[in-house]
Chain A
Amino acid sequence: MSVIAQLNSPAMYLICGVIILFVAAVCIFFMVRAYKAGVAIGMDTAKMKRTIIASATFTILPSVGILLGVIALSGSLGTPLPWLRLSVIGALHYETQVAEAAAEQIGLSGLSASEMTLQAFTTIALMMSFCIMWGMLFSILFTKRYSSRLKNGGSKKAGNRPGFGDTAMTAMFIGLVSAYIGSYIGGFVSSGGLFHFAGSLMPIAVVVIAGLVMAGFLWLAEKKNAAWVDSFSIAGSMILAMLGAVVLNPIL
């Protein structure tokens, strides 16, 4: 049996499937618990249902993007391991990079199906799991203490005004988005040489289209009283912007 056939064997699916099933059960358990706690403390159930619908629609498209990551890695690592890695802790940008680096450390020229050996595979699997475990480890060790510190700090108010917590969260998110948009602008202007304007304009065009579509959705929600649009605004903006990328591809 070839290496790739062994990596796609039912036993490998079983090992990965059990872990993924456990994680899915944890998510369902936390979800039901949170919903019941929300009802118990008198939260509006309509708000909670809206959260669930908005989060589900929001997630579908990026998940298809992640599925592409599974497909990309399945050529050299088989399907079960990338399926596990990208369902649990994994991150699209991380997996390929670490798998590639691990492959080089064990003497392969890179991630390639033709060079893959069973030992190379298990070593890569260990490295992919180990190098990204820190967030989970910190959660076990520090989240309780860190959360209570944040709570004590966040509960301080200035007079009758709300605390700075909400503003800080929004600002942090603005910083995150700005870093990415800045990288698209920098990539376009200087990736082919300082001020050569030879980089790809596509990510910037997609950002602009998504922003414009979002403006349309918010206009509908706020001016035309179509509040239901809000739950689908991100997914809708993303679909249209991604379609824009397909249309613009021959030009850009």
Chain B
Amino acid sequence: MDEAMKNELFEQYNRRTHLLGRIACTITLVMLLAAPFVMGAVLGAMPNLAAFGKGFFAVGLVWLVSCVVEYLVYVPMLGSGGSYLAFITGNLINMKIPCAINARDIVGAKSGTAENEIISTLSIATSSLVTILVLAVGVALLIPLHPILQSPVLQPAFDNVVPALFGAMAYKYYRRNMKTAIWPLLFMSILFILVPSLTGSTSFMIIPSGALAIAIAWLRWRKNA
């Protein structure tokens, strides 16, 4: 098969991905927003819309800003198919993003290529299915699993899933990019030391940290041109 044919096939795949992704997102969104009302009908108690409105203005707006930032930052990392799936299934920072980046790294896919798009979609679809499966099995076995998962001995392990994940990923990415990584790491450490209250907003601090890392990477990339 020649390159032109491959490109045409991939373009066709991509166009369908957008169409199917939009359909899947729309159906999921409608079901999710309808669910509380269906539950209300079953339970005989509809949501209190006045309290919902107050709650939305109290905390919902903060999450709106967070979602805008996540969307702008993560779509380039995940590609089209991966983005649709990731925004449907959630848990982006603690699972989908590292998972897709790890898969891309293992197979050596380059960003913006057809291979990257396929690998990212496969990775996020697999990750989402495994999560759905683990949660379904966990919910089915909730009573027998409860004492094990909530055992005080194992609590430190489950309290540190995210540091364990980022520790492993940090070594993998820092070792080849130390001259880029040292600056955001230093900057963020100093910032969190001087303003410890920011630890509650770490997901927002990804933006300045990422911007700094990209700026340094760009300067080094230009220098090596």
- The listed residue (B111, B128, B160) touching A23 by CB distance below 8 A is B128
A-B contact count (CB 8 A): 582
The secondary-structure label for the interface of chain A is: helix
Measured as residues with beta carbon below 8 angstroms from the partner, the interface class of chain A is 35 or more
In the complex, 7 of the A-B residue pairs with CB atoms within 8 angstroms, ordered by the A residue number, are A43-B118, A86-B90, A89-B88, A102-B52, A127-B55, A127-B60, A166-B110
User: Do residues A41 and B32 form an inter-chain contact, with CB atoms below 8 A?
Assistant: no
* Cβ of B224 to closest chain A Cβ, rounded Å: 8
- Bound state CA distance, A182 and B210, in angstroms? 13
In chain B, positions 34-51 with a C-beta closer than 8 Å to chain A are 35-40, 42-48, 51
**B158: chain A residues within 8 A (beta carbon):** 64-65, 68, 242
Which residue from chain A places its CB closest to the CB of B79 in the assembled complex? A147
- The listed residue (B45, B75, B184) touching A117 by CB distance below 8 A is B45
**B150: chain A residues within 8 A (beta carbon):** 68, 71
User: Do residues B67 and A210 form an inter-chain contact, with CB atoms below 8 A?
Assistant: no
User: Do residues A245 and B103 form an inter-chain contact, with CB atoms below 8 A?
Assistant: no
Interface size on B, residues (CB 8 A): 159
- The listed residue (A48, A132, A135, A175) touching B213 by CB distance below 8 A is A175
A113 interface residue (CB < 8 Å to B): no
- The listed residue (B51, B100, B163, B185) touching A123 by CB distance below 8 A is B51
**A143: chain B residues within 8 A (beta carbon):** 18, 21-22, 75, 80, 83-84
Closest 6 CB pairs of A and B: A186-B192, A182-B188, A210-B167, A175-B210, A134-B67, A207-B167
Contact with B along A93-136 (1 / 0, CB 8 A): 11001100110011100000000011111110111011111111
**B191: chain A residues within 8 A (beta carbon):** 182, 186
